[in-house]
Structure 1
Amino acid sequence: MTAPSGTVTLRRYGLDEVDAVRPTLSELYAEVYADRLSDPFFSVERFEERLDGHVSRPGWEAVVGYDNGRPIGYAYGSPLPERSRWWAGMLTPLPEQDTDETGGRRTLALFELMVRTPWRKTGSAHRIHEELLSGRPEERVTLLVEPTHPKVQKLYEQWGYENVGDQRPFPDAPLYATMVRRLR
Structure 2
Amino acid sequence: MTAGAHFPRGAGKDGGLLVRTVVGVTEVSYVRLDAAAAAAMLDQLAEVYADAYGQVPGEDTGVKADAFRDRATAALGARNYELVTARSGDELVGFVLGYSLRQERDWFGGLDPAPEPGFTDERGGERTVVLAEIEVRKAWQGKGIGRGLHDTFLGGRREERATLSANPVATATHALYERWGWVRVGTKPGPPGAYYREYAVFVRPLWSAEGS
TM-score (norm 1): 0.88
Match of 1:18 among 13, 34, 38: 38
Amino acid at match of 1:157: E
Q: Distance in 2 between the 1:135 and 1:165 partners?
A: 26
Q: Distance in 2 between the 1:132 and 1:10 partners?
A: 9
Per-residue deviation, 1:53: 2.0
Provide the secondary structure at the position in 2 that maps to 1:43: helix
- Equivalences for residues 19-168 of structure 1 within 5 A: 19-35=39-55, 38=60, 42-168=63-189
Q: Distance in 1 between the 2:120 and 2:45 partners?
A: 29
Task: Describe the superposition over 1:67-114 as per-residue Cα deviations: whole angstroms up to 9, x where unpaired.
Answer: 121011111000101222211142333234111112331000011011
Alignment RMSD (CA, Å): 2.0
Task: Report which of the two structures shows the higher radius of gyration computed on alpha carbons.
Answer: 2
Aligned residue pairs: how many? Answer: 180
Decide which moves more: 153-162 or 85-94: 85-94
- Contact 1:79/1:103 (CA < 8 Å) preserved in 2? no
Decide which moves more: 125-134 or 90-99: 90-99
Aligned to 2:13: none
TM-score (norm 2): 0.77
What are structure 2's unaligned runs of at least 5 residues? Answer: 1-23
Name segments (4+ residues, structure 1) moved above 4 Å: none
Change (3 A) 1:152 1:126: same
Task: Describe the superposition over 1:120-156 as per-residue Cα deviations: whole angstroms up to 9, x where unpaired.
Answer: 1111100011111112110000011223221211111
Name the % identity: 29
